[in-house]
Amino acid sequence: MTSVFHQARPGEDENNEPWVYLGRYKAHYKLIHDIIFTQHLDTDKPRLISLGADRHLVGNNILNINLKILFTESKMYICIRLQ
């Protein structure tokens, strides 16, 4: 499960919590090995990329989080052959 929070600005959260919950998505069925915050090569929009033990590389759109759901932009299966 991938969850995204951002640091609250003064007056943004009525409970004065330091972090505001944005959304979550279950893109992997095994453990997540690594996450990277980067920019999309064509649009320069921020993206969250996760790599799981299930060998899926998932790119999430973190600007258009709607109804507390983190939308997946792309999902790729990584196949590595060992010789």
pLDDT digits (tens, 9 = 90+) for 56-69: 888 877 777 665 55
Average pLDDT, the chain: 78
Q: Is the confidence at residue 82, as pLDDT, over 60?
A: no
Alpha helices in 1-83 (DSSP H): none
Q: Which two tokens stand for residue 60?
A: 């999430």
pLDDT digit string, tens, across residues 29-38: 899 899 888 8
For residue 57, count CB atoms less than 10 angstroms from its CB and return exposed for 0-12, middle for 13-18, buried for 19 or more.
middle
* pTM, rounded to two decimals: 0.66
**Count of H-run helices and E-run strands, the chain:** 0, 6
- Residue 83's pLDDT is 61
- Cβ atoms of 41 and 52 closer than 8 Å: no
